[in-house]
Structure 1
């Protein structure tokens, strides 16, 4: 019997265990990280005060990239020098969570690339400035849900264009972020997500919740409350779709190379 391309996993740990146990179509011992990269990147839009700092671990396996955005001190910048040539199976057993996430993303990018996924719809981002492209990306995310006027939207991982896009649908944004203290408009940003998860009618979260270990808790809370969850994923763009119908309602998946690294038209994939 052919192995499935998806199973019902309750957590990221269960998903990794299933991959290592041979539950999927490809053997992770036969897939290798032929390239590894560490990227430090910052963004500041003209006329704003917010400086975004991003740090990425990227693994290439065949035609797929696995991506994990991390906090500045989560991994040393030289980490990528040690990973090239390793099997994805060995990297999925690495004690460092970001390495496991990048390897799992590369694995599912090989099992079912976005371009071949039955539930994925391509969405083209336009030629333009970083702000133009970020705003188009964030509107694509919000369009995955019908936000009713007055609904409370927990935003876990804050980017200002996404706050703006929620407001345009007349939702009430409940912003949460470890690194930001206020939005571009002066709204306070909470450094804990629990009150927002308790109050929200809708939850929107970044894929970086995979790399900081909070994704499983968010899944547990939205399942318990039957609340829709949309994930916008650069980190783990191929991982999050594995949880569709098992806590995740929709995904805006943006594989590497990300929109901020080019002005040219590019494609993200929306899953519903």
Structure 2
């Protein structure tokens, strides 16, 4: 991390404050000098063999230099975005766009250019193996679980449900409090809450997805973790370059997975695991 980046890391508590730091060139490179050379939208569905669960995911991706900025969104959010309108614009312009997913994807792209994971001494690179979507998902979820220092009898808030993580929580003798907009029950039958606020107040430990950036709930989760002084672990495809900037500032650990995400490639790809020095 550069001196400027290190200094600015202590000056923000929210995503909007981080965006302001970028626009004020605290990270060295002017976002006005970084044009978007490619933009695309993905509507993706997944159903693993032998299961009944169908997953629907929608993504906005921005290509800047050698980096993709990524944001997973709700279906109605993607309908508000026309990727062709974003091409050719500078990241500075998109960081001030009225649409939150556009700002998140632009911020992710900028930080991916300026502070790549491979140059961050805090990051441990892990290669996901060649294989099927299921094989690669299992390897990814195992890596996420490796970050979880969960104690027996803890109440663990899971904001964005991934069934293997539910199983990992329960295997450690903890109680899972699942929360998700798009699921009613976990594979094991737990009722999934839509409102995260009671979960944030009851949990002794919080696990959240990077999609909380695109739906605007990340700042509230981060503030709750700070206020209650409880661990927060984030598994981030969305905002994989954003969430590590909050490491030690409320975030205890991150599994950061830049594009191409595991489900979009059979070839080996990297994820980056971060832990705060003083979680």
- Tell me which interval the TM-score lies in, with the shorter structure as reference length: over 0.9
Cα deviation code 1:182-236 (max 9, x no counterpart): 0112111001111211111110000000000000000110100000000000000
- Find the counterpart in structure 1 of residue 218 from structure 2: 215
Q: CA separation of 1:200/1:2 partners in 2, compared to 1, >3 Å: closer, same or farther?
A: closer
What are the superposed Cα offsets for residues 227-268 of structure 1, whole Å, 9 maximum, x if unpaired? 000000000000000101111011000000000112222210
Aligned to 2:17: 14
> Shift of the alpha carbon at 1:78?
5.9
User: For 2:47 and 2:228, how far apart are their aligned partners in 1?
Assistant: 37
Distance in 2, matches of 1:41 and 1:104, equals 23
**Could you tell me which of 86, 102, 107 is aligned with 2:105?**
102
**Whole-angstrom distance in 1 between the partners of 2:63 and 2:87:** 9
Residue in structure 1 matched with residue 52 of structure 2 by the alignment:
49
How many residue pairs were aligned?
272
From 181, 185, 203, give the equivalent of 2:184.
181
Shift of 1:149: 1.8
Alpha-carbon contact 1:134-1:161 (below 8 Å) kept: no
Are 2:37 and 2:65, in contact at CA under 8 Å, matched by a contact in 1?
A: yes
Give 1:137 shift. 1.0
1:66 to 50, 58, 69: 69
Cα drift, residue 91 of structure 1: 0.3
Greater than 6 Å deviation, 4+ residue runs:
none
Q: Does 1:260 align with 2:263?
A: yes
Shift of 1:75: 2.5
TM-score, normalised relative to structure 2? 0.94
Cα deviation 1:52-80 (Å, max 9, x = unaligned) = 10000000100111000000011327611
Q: How does 1:53-132 map to 2 (within 5 A)?
A: 53-76=56-79, 79-132=82-135
The answer for unaligned runs of 5 or more in structure 1 is none
Matched position secondary structure for 1:4: helix
> 1:103-160 deviations in whole A, cap 9, x for unaligned?
0000000111111111110112223322222122112112112111222111100121
The answer to whether the 8 A contact 1:66-1:103 is kept is yes
What TM-score comes out, normalization by structure 1 length?
0.96
Q: What is the alpha-carbon distance in structure 2 between the residues aligned to residue 4 and residue 185 of structure 1?
A: 43
Cα deviation, 1:23-68, whole Å, max 9, x if unaligned, reads 1111101011110010010111122221110000000100111000
| Counterpart residue number, 1:231 | 234
Q: Retained in 1: the 8 A contact 2:59–2:78?
A: no
Give the structure 2 partner of residue 4 of structure 1: 5
Q: Quote the Cα distance in structure 2 between the aligned partners of 1:264 and 1:61.
A: 22
Within 2, Cα distance between the matches of 1:198 and 1:255? Answer: 31
